[in-house]
């Protein structure tokens, strides 16, 4: 009597292209984050690795180098995986090639 009858409303039909647009719009920030991550972190790291690999491959006997722990020395012998570096008169250490940090200009070590 005082209460009116409630009728359920039918849901409006979804647009066919509307779901795809909202999905792409929702994924856009995620895609942009990956693009920024690639250009800020991944690409520069790959460039540094390439430069280090070229430096290690170009090493020759007599080059003055800095190795991992900060030791300076002169390359005395080379093998496929290792460098033999003279760090003092008559003191030679064997280190892995990847431990090479920097090649110094000739005449740096006296």
Residue keyed to tokens 């005449």 = 107
Residue 17 clears pLDDT 60, i.e. is over it: no
pLDDT band, very low/low/confident/very high, at 14 (cuts 50, 70, 90): low
The pLDDT score that the predictor gives to residue 66 is: 96
The pLDDT score that the predictor gives to residue 83 is: 94
Please give the distance of CA 23 from its chain centroid, rounded to a whole number: 31
- Which CATH fold would you assign to the domain 60-110? SH3 type barrels. (2.30.30)
Better-scored residue on pLDDT, 16 or 95: 95
Residue burial 11-37, b: 16+ Cβ < 10 Å; e: rest: eeeeeeeeeeeeeeeeeeeeeeeeeee
How confident is the model over 21-66, as pLDDT tens digits? 888 888 999 999 999 999 999 999 999 999 999 999 999 999 999 9
């Amino acid at each position: 009597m005082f209460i009116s009858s409630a009728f359920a409303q039918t849901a409006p039909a979804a647009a066919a292209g509307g779901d795809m647009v909202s999905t792409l719009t929702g994924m856009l920030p995620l895609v942009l984050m990956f693009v920024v991550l690639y250009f800020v972190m991944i690409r520069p790291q790959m460039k540094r690795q390439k430069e280090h690999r070229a430096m290690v491959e170009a090493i020759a006997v007599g080059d003055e180098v800095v190795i991992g722990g900060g030791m300076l020395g002169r390359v005395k012998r080379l093998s496929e995986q290792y460098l033999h570096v003279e760090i003092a008169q008559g003191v030679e250490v064997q280190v892995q090639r990847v431990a090479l940090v920097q090649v110094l200009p000739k005449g740096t070590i006296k």
